[in-house]
Amino acid sequence: MILTLADTGFDAPRALLAGYGLSLIEIPAGEAIPGSFWGEVEAGLIGTDVFARADTPVHSLLHEAGHLIVMPAERRAHVHTDATDSVAEEDATCYLQILLADRLPGVGRERLMADMDAWGYTFRLGSARAWFEHDAEDARAFLESRGLLPLTCAL
């Protein structure tokens, strides 16, 4: 079963996102999630706001937040629903979401990578873990070029 915000609560993710100047907006059960690219339970984004419900997977929340973290501020202000700019940015977002998982109690990178695989993320080497450990040099370099490694935020 994929870990959701019902399992972790909103407080720790909200604090984590706030460290990057983002707001986590909790949407009531049954309501549509604004700015959701995938629809249904998946997190959404509009500007610096990330929208999620209790049934939103943690990997989805961290992925959408990761998009906002890696993109330049001038793009972030205007983003709505679709945040992908390039393959390089998408890869950096996947790498960052794995790192961010370590900042959430009860989540961690191992659990997040398993959830990414279960959800259907696809990587050349067959799994999120194999990609992260053996094929993500370009994603890491992208994050370093943006000053996002070593991973820091105001918590």
**pLDDT mean across residues, the chain:** 93
37 contacts 81 by C-beta, under 8 angstroms: yes
Work out the number of other CB atoms within 10 angstroms of the CB of residue 144.
Answer: 12
CA dist 13 and 130 (Å) reads: 26
Contacts of 101 (CB under 8 A, 6+ apart): 58, 59, 62, 107, 108, 109, 111, 112
Per-residue pLDDT at 93: 96
Give 58-97 pLDDT, tens digit per residue.
999 999 999 999 998 889 989 999 887 799 999 999 999 9
| Angle subtended by helix axes 58-70 and 108-119, to nearest 10 | 100
> Model confidence at 152, in pLDDT bands (50, 70, 90)?
low
Contacts of 145 (CB under 8 A, 6+ apart): none
- Of 67-71, 90-94, 119-123, 140-144, the poorest mean pLDDT is in 119-123
For residue 154, pLDDT over 60 is answered with: no
- The distance between the two most distant Cα atoms of the chain, rounded to a whole number of Å, is 40
